[in-house]
């Protein structure tokens, strides 16, 4: 196909979780519970110390993997807790398998993650995958045959559509969405760092 207008439209149907039959924006999480305001000072102090994450470049974590780093959700239902353990209340439930999240801290078997909207919480490591993913951001984006603005469009990707990250070359990354593989600019999705090399 040679034009964006005639390209296959990978819209709401490409999302992994839809909340209604229309093309409304997919919800990536649902509110479960609030942390009680009467938590003890000791618990608050513990959370503050555990949630401290480096703000600069990648640093070594307990697992030996870099912090921060991108991973994806392994399940369609991932509980996001207020702290690093099953004793902490569930604040959110992520409902999109394959959605990219950023690991910003670690404690034992739990990972503190942040999603595309800035939601932060703790997830058990077994619910995360090292497979890389992308989530389309901003506007409808063209999935192109080659890494070039002049290359024919293979598909149109709507905001919040999730795909798999395959590789990145300079300003472009190769992704797979619903079996279609093509190129999209790294500024048109969330799930990769500005200068990160992905092979």
CATH 2.30.30.40 maps onto the chain at 8-18+134-190, 29-131
Contact between 82 and 44 under an 8 Å Cβ cutoff? The reply is no
pLDDT on residue 62: 75
Q: Please determine, for residue 31, whether its predicted confidence score (pLDDT) is greater than 80.
A: no
Q: What is the DSSP string of 112-179?
A: EEE-TT--EEEEEGGGEESS-EEEE-SS-EEEESSSSTTSPEEEEE-TT-EEEEEEEETTEEEEEETT
Global pTM?
A: 0.72
CATH topology of domain 29-131: SH3 type barrels. (2.30.30)
Contact between 120 and 95 under an 8 Å Cβ cutoff? The reply is no
pLDDT on residue 63: 84
pLDDT on residue 61: 63
Average confidence score pLDDT of the chain: 80
The hierarchical CATH code for the domain 8-18+134-190 is: 2.30.30.40
Strands 90-94 and 78-81: what pairing?
antiparallel
pLDDT in tens, 105-128: 999 999 999 999 999 999 999 999
pLDDT on residue 59: 54
Cα–Cα distances (Å) from 182 to 4, 7, 134, 137, in that order, read: 13, 12, 13, 16
């Amino acid at each position: 196909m040679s034009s964006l207008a005639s390209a296959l439209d990978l819209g709401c149907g490409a999302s992994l979780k839809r909340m209604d039959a229309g093309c409304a924006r997919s919800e990536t999480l649902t509110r479960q519970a609030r942390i009680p305001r009467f938590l003890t000072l000791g618990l608050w102090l513990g959370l503050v110390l555990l949630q401290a994450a480096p703000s600069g470049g990648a640093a070594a974590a307990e697992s030996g993997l870099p912090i921060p780093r991108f991973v994806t959700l392994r399940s369609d239902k991932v509980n996001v807790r207020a702290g690093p353990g099953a004793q902490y209340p569930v604040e959110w439930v992520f409902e999109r398998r394959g959605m990219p999240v950023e690991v910003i801290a670690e404690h034992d078997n739990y990972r503190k993650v942040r999603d595309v909207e800035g939601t932060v919480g703790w997830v058990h490591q077994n619910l995360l995958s090292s497979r890389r993913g992308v989530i389309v951001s901003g506007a409808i984006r063209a999935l192109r045959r080659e890494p070039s603005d002049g290359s024919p469009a293979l598909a149109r990707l709507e905001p919040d559509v999730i795909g798999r990250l395959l590789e990145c070359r300079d300003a472009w990354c190769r992704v797979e969405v619903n079996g279609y593989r093509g190129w999209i600019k790294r500024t048109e999705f969330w799930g990769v760092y500005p200068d990160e090399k992905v092979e």
